[in-house]
Structures are given as C-alpha cells and as structure tokens.
C-alpha cells in the first residue's frame, strides 16, 4: 500500500468495531486489559458496549491508506476544565509502524487543539519505550507526578519507636488543602515553577473521593506530608506524599514504618503502597532498609505538552 495516500478522517459509528478491536489487540499486555480478559463478564460488556462507549466519549479519527483503516486517534475534549485536550488512545497497525503515521496522527491532534486549548495530555505505559521516545521527540513532558505502586506481601515488624512522628486524621477542606499543598511542593521541587503552573492548571485535585481515610504526617508538631488509606477487598492501598526535604533521611524511613504500622493494625494480608513517580527512587532505597518484599507494578505515565506558543 502506498503511504503517500494516507488520509486522516473523522470516524463514523460503523468504524467503531474495527477501532475498538485494533485498540484491544494493541493494549493486550496492559494490566487493565489483562483484568478484562480474566473476567468473563467484563470481557463480554467490553466487546458488546466498547464501540458505543468510545463513540459517545471520544472524538474519533481514523488513518486510512487506500481506503483501509490502519490506525486511529481518539480525543477527549475539556477533560481538565477548558484548558486541555486529552489523547485517549492512539494506535497504528503493526504493518505500518515506523513509517511516520503515529507522528502524523499526533500532529493532527495538535492542529485540532491549538486554537482551543493550552495543553495536550496523554498517558502511556512506562514499558512502551517506542511510544515514549516518540512523545518525547514531539515535546511531551513528564512532570513525574504519576502514581507508582508497590505490593508488599511481607509486612515488616516495626523495629523502633518514633516518638516525634505521628499520623493525625483529617477530612474535608483540611484534607484537600493538605494533599494539594504537598502535591504542588513535590512537583515544583522536581519540575520547576513552570511544572508547578502546569500541574496546578491541569491535575490539581478539586475534590476528595469518598470512602478513603486521610491523615497528615506530623513531625515535632510540624506537618511534613499526607497519607490516604483505601480499604479494598483483599488489601489496603496507601498513597502518601513526603516533603522533599526528608527524602533520603532517617525520618523518611521512620515515616514509612509509622504508616505501615498504622495499616498493619487493620489485619490486611497485603499492602499496596503508591507514591508519586518523582519519589520512587527514594522510596525504593528506604524499602531496601526494611524487612519487606515489595513488588513493583507497571504503571501508566502522564505526559503533557504546552501549546501556549500558539497563543
């Protein structure tokens, strides 16, 4: 097929079955799709309702060569207020990869977005190195804010007391303020003031999910971090943020021990500990000092490109 005949057109509802199948084949190794594959009910609804869902939720475009669909890009408008457009999915058929079609689809999305939005966002599996290289080449930036999770199957015994460290329960506006303040502190520390501005515009949470315990980390009466604890069926999921001033210190190890000790009292067999990507290296070093067995879960990374130059 002649790639010079490449066209990008709005997809019709009758294209959705082919697009969803192409997406499914491409993302087959994605943990979320693995979950669907392992659950007959979820798989049934995905195959039956997936095309309708994509049609209703996304603006869909197909890449054509000689009239045959060889790729697609799905766009979500105003996902984060009115400042961004999200690339929900982009796939090129295996036979046509490495020929510039992915780049063409991405530039097509930028053309659509540039007159309406300040940013383009997307998410990519961290082990998809080919896609990551493409996005980086096109100017997409990783603010290191994506959640990275570890499963801890051997909960360590607390080795020592930390009289200066404690967790205090918070809720409502206090919890929202605590979480957002520490999120911004980490992003600014690792991505600078412009990263701070982008994160505040796009990703700063505006409300709290229900059914989650929230605590602030206090050291010598000073707030140094934030913790949320979600009780799931077979494990306890923790997300925490620690002020960068304490990364790589004894206090950091103490904070992790106090959090694990707090959760261990709930008699769960497993702990899922999630942190911002920027903090992963420091957390890994801290966990190596403790008697536990963490298993890292492959994660999605959020990327963003500023379109302000078009303003």
Q: How confident is the model at residue 89 (pLDDT cuts 50, 70, 90)?
A: very high
**Domain identity same for 158 and 295:** yes
Give the gyration radius of the chain's Cα atoms: 22
Q: How far apart are CA 96 and CA 93, in angstroms?
A: 6
- pLDDT, residue 310, reads 42
- pLDDT, residue 311, reads 41
- pLDDT, residue 159, reads 53
Q: How confident is the model at residue 164 (pLDDT cuts 50, 70, 90)?
A: confident
Judged against a pLDDT cut of 60, whether residue 47 lies above it is answered with yes
Q: What is the mean pLDDT of residues 130-159?
A: 87
How many domains does the chain divide into? 2
Q: How far apart are CA 220 and CA 214, in angstroms?
A: 19
- pLDDT, residue 136, reads 94
Instruction: Report the CATH number at residue 195.
Output: 3.40.630.30
Q: Domain for residue 277, yes or no?
A: yes
**Domain identity same for 41 and 181:** no
Helix (H, G, I), strand (E, B) or coil at 303: strand
Range with the poorest average pLDDT among 12-16, 81-85, 186-190, 206-210:
81-85
Three-class HEC string of 95-118: HHCCCCHHHHHHHHHHHHHCCCCC
Query: What pLDDT, in 10s, does the model give residues 112-144?
Result: 998 889 999 999 999 999 999 999 999 999 999
**Percent of the chain whose pLDDT exceeds 70:** 91
Q: What is the mean pLDDT of residues 176-180?
A: 96
- pLDDT, residue 48, reads 80
- pLDDT, residue 34, reads 72
By residue range, what is the domain housing residue 210?
147-299
Kindly state the helix (H) or strand (E) to which residue 149 belongs, with its residue range: strand 147-152
**Domain identity same for 232 and 157:** yes
- pLDDT, residue 275, reads 97
**Domain identity same for 94 and 177:** no
Q: What is the mean pLDDT of residues 274-285?
A: 95
Q: How confident is the model at residue 309 (pLDDT cuts 50, 70, 90)?
A: low
Range with the poorest average pLDDT among 7-21, 158-172, 197-211, 219-233:
158-172
CA dihedral 241, 242, 248, 254 (to 10 degrees): -100
Q: How far apart are CA 261 and CA 263, in angstroms?
A: 5
Model pTM? 0.88
- pLDDT, residue 3, reads 57
**Domain identity same for 175 and 289:** yes
Task: Locate 54 and state its tokens.
Answer: 């994509």
- pLDDT, residue 288, reads 83
Judged against a pLDDT cut of 80, whether residue 2 lies above it is answered with no
- pLDDT, residue 224, reads 96
Q: What is the mean pLDDT of the chain?
A: 88
**Domain identity same for 92 and 162:** no
Q: Domain for residue 10, yes or no?
A: yes
């Amino acid at each position: 097929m002649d790639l010079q005949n490449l066209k990008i057109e709005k997809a019709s509802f009758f294209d959705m079955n082919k697009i969803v199948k192409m997406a499914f084949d491409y993302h087959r190794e994605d943990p979320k799709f693995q979950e669907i594959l392992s659950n007959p009910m979820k798989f049934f609804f995905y195959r039956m309702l997936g095309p309708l869902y994509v049609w209703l939720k996304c603006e869909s475009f197909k890449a054509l060569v000689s009239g045959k669909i060889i790729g697609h890009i799905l766009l979500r408008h105003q996902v984060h207020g009115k400042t961004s457009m999200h690339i929900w999915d982009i796939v090129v058929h295996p036979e046509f990869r490495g020929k510039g079609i992915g780049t063409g689809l991405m530039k097509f999305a930028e053309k659509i977005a540039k007159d309406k939005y300040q940013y383009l966002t997307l998410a990519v599996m961290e082990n998809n190195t080919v896609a990551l290289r493409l996005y980086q080449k096109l100017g997409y930036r990783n603010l290191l804010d994506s959640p990275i999770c570890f499963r801890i199957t051997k909960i360590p015994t607390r080795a020592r007391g930390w009289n200066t460290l404690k967790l205090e329960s918070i809720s409502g506006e206090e919890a929202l303020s605590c979480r957002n303040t520490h999120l911004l502190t980490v992003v600014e520390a690792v991505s600078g003031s412009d990263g701070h501005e982008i994160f505040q515009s796009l990703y700063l949470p505006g409300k709290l999910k229900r059914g989650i315990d929230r605590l602030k980390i206090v050291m010598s009466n000073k707030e140094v971090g934030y913790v949320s604890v979600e009780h799931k069926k077979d494990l306890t999921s923790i997300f925490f943020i620690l002020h960068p001033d304490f990364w790589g210190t004894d206090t950091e190890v103490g904070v992790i021990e106090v959090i694990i000790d707090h959760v261990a009292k709930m008699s769960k067999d497993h702990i899922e500990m999630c942190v911002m990507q920027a903090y992963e290296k420091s957390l890994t070093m801290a966990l190596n000092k403790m008697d536990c067995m963490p298993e890292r879960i492959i994660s999605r990374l959020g990327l963003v490109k500023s379109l302000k130059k078009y303003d």
